[in-house]
Amino acid sequence: MLTLYHSPQSRSSRIIWLLEEAGADYKIEYVTIPRQDGSGAPDPKNPHPEKKVPFLVNSNGDAVFESAAICLYVADLYPQAGLAPRPDEKGRGEYVSWLFYYAGVIEPVVHFVFFDLGDHEGLRRTFRGRAEMDARILGALEAHDYIAGDKFTAADFLITGLGQFARQMLPADPIVDAYLKRCSERPALARALKKDARPA
C-alpha cells in the first residue's frame, strides 16, 4: 500500500494520475502547503523533510521524494501497467534520460526564464536555455507520439503536467498541442482529477 502526501493543484496532482494509470493500491493524505498567493502553510503531518509535495511512502517503510523519482519508482513497482520499458528493453535509455532531463534541466530552465535569470552565462553553460530546451522537446515529439517513444510512459506525466500547469512552459507548436490533448484524454486522468481536491 502506498500513501501519497498531496496538495490540490500542485506537482502532486500528476502523481495521482500516475498512481491511477499504474493501478496502484494507494491512499491520499491531503496536506496544506504555502501557496504563492500567501495562503496555506506547511502541514505538520507531512513527513517530507521540507514539507513539500509530492511525497510517497510505501508501507514497507520506503519513502520517495522528487516527482521524477516517484515516477520511476511507481512505474517499476507496477510493471504490468507498461509505464516504463524494462531495464533490459530497448527504449529504457531514452525513458530514464527524459525523467532526469525533466528534473535536471526542464524544471531549472523554466524557472530561470520565469524569474528572468536565464541569461547568466554560468546557467547557460550548465543548463543551456529555453531555446535549446524547446528544440529538444519538439524534436522528440516530432519523432514520436510520446516524449520517450511511441508509447506513453511515466516520463509523460512530468512533461504533460508542466503543460497543464502553464501551457507557455512548453514549446508553442501544434505538435505539442496535439501531444497534450492525446495525453489529457486518458481515462486515468479524469479519475485522478476527481480525487485532486480534498473530499468535503
Closer CB to ligand GSH, 114 or 119, in the complex: 114
d(CA 116, CA 125): 16
Closer CB to ligand GSH, 53 or 96, in the complex: 53
- Near ligand GSH by CB under 6 A, which window of 47-55, 91-99, 145-153, 186-194? 47-55
Does residue 161 interact with ligand GSH by CB under 6 A?
no
Residues 6+ apart with CB under 8 A from 185: none
Does residue 51 interact with ligand GSH by CB under 6 A?
yes
Query: Would you state the cell numbers that stand for residue 76, as one nine-digit string?
Result: 517499476
Closer CB to ligand GSH, 49 or 122, in the complex: 49
Does residue 66 interact with ligand GSH by CB under 6 A?
yes
Q: Which residues pair with 4 in a beta bridge?
A: 28, 56
What is the side-by-side strand order in the sheet with 26-30?
A: 26-30, 2-6, 55-58, 63-65
- Near ligand GSH by CB under 6 A, which window of 50-58, 80-88, 144-152, 170-178? 50-58
Contact 12, 19 (CB under 8 A): no
Chain residues that interact with ligand GSH, rule: CB under 6 A: 10-11, 33-34, 42, 51-54, 66-67
